[in-house]
């Protein structure tokens, strides 16, 4: 049985960028900041491409929800080896309040519409760190889920997923269709090279609105405040061991 895979990719602020919080504490500065594909989504794309190279997956559809620029993220996935893209156009206020709940409804609707039997996602995004979209998508679809995957094997109508859990690994077998979320050690994603980016420009990206999928984006979450983590206190140099002991006693460490 050849699988059809839907892979979700999120456009986030690049991992190497120093994040700045807006002075009014409503969020972080995104204007003029370098964005790229969420690293865990890259791992999900890579896994789908590897399954396609093994002829286990027949088609990879990559989807991203957000403004126009998300098409660049989709393009990166296409350059890595996905077949076609779907850009779910969400902008303005709707984009600001877009969270796992809304995205999971969109992904579930697309999974049905595109008749896929495998949904591959990153385990979490490095911007909001929610770690909810995969789980919620599985719930909306009422499909089994294999989260925090560090190994995925297709065995007939079933998936064997090795999961990263606290202090070890757990191996589960789940029925297809299923939702899988990628952990860091699942694979080493390939680089989207310039020639492949150019070739990917020939691949199709379809744009749809959430309404076209019958989804309303109302959010019940209100962000009250976004704040910087506390600044790290400066260190201190001591001349002698005695000084060190005195200082440590002063701060109550010994």
Partner 1 sequence: MEMAHPLRGEVVKLYKNLLYLGREYPKGADYFREKLKKAFMKNRDVKDPEKIKELIERGEFVIKELEALYFLKKYRAMKQRYYEDDKDR
Span of 19-27, 107-115, 184-192, 214-222 interacting with partner 1 by CB under 8 A: 184-192
Establish if 1 lies at the interface with partner 1 (CB under 8 A): no
Establish if 39 lies at the interface with partner 1 (CB under 8 A): yes
Establish if 126 lies at the interface with partner 1 (CB under 8 A): yes
Span of 137-145, 189-197, 202-210, 222-230 interacting with partner 1 by CB under 8 A: 189-197
Span of 59-67, 77-85, 153-161, 188-196 interacting with partner 1 by CB under 8 A: 188-196
Establish if 193 lies at the interface with partner 1 (CB under 8 A): yes
Establish if 224 lies at the interface with partner 1 (CB under 8 A): no
Q: Which two tokens stand for residue 153?
A: 């094997």
Asked if residue 59 lies in contact with residue 83, where contact means CB atoms within 8 angstroms, the answer is: yes
Q: Which two tokens stand for residue 43?
A: 């791992």
Measured at the CA of 36, the angle between CA 211 and CA 39, to 5 degrees, comes to: 100
Strands (E), 67-144: 84-89, 118-122
Residues 6+ apart with CB under 8 A from 157: 1, 175, 176
Asked if residue 209 lies in contact with residue 215, where contact means CB atoms within 8 angstroms, the answer is: no
Establish if 248 lies at the interface with partner 1 (CB under 8 A): no
Which residues of the chain form contacts with partner 1 (CB under 8 A)?
A: 15-16, 39-40, 126, 184, 188-191, 193-195, 197
């Amino acid at each position: 049985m050849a699988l059809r895979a839907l892979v979700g990719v999120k456009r986030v602020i690049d991992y190497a960028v120093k994040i700045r919080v807006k002075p009014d504490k409503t969020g972080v500065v995104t204007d003029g900041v370098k964005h790229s594909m969420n690293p865990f989504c890259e791992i999900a794309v890579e896994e789908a491409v590897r399954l396609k190279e093994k002829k286990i997956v027949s088609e990879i559809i990559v989807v991203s929800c957000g403004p126009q620029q998300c098409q660049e993220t989709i393009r990166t996935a296409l350059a890595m080896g996905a077949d076609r893209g779907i850009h779910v156009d969400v902008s303005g206020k709707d984009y600001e309040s877009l969270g796992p709940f809304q995205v999971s409804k969109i992904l579930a609707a697309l999974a049905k519409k595109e008749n896929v039997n495998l949904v591959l996602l990153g385990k979490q995004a490095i911007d909001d760190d929610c770690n909810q979209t995969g789980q919620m998508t599985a719930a909306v679809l009422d499909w089994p889920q294999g989260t925090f995957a560090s190994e995925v094997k297709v065995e007939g109508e079933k998936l064997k997923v090795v999961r990263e859990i606290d202090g070890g690994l757990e191996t589960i077998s789940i029925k297809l269709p299923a939702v899988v979320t990628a952990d860091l050690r699942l694979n080493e994603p390939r680089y989207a090279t310039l020639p492949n980016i150019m070739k990917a420009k020939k691949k199709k990206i379809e744009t749809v609105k959430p309404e076209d999928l019958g989804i309303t984006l109302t959010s019940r979450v209100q962000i009250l405040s976004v704040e910087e983590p506390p600044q790290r206190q400066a260190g201190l140099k001591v001349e002698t061991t005695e000084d060190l002991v005195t200082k440590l006693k002063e701060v109550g460490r010994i």
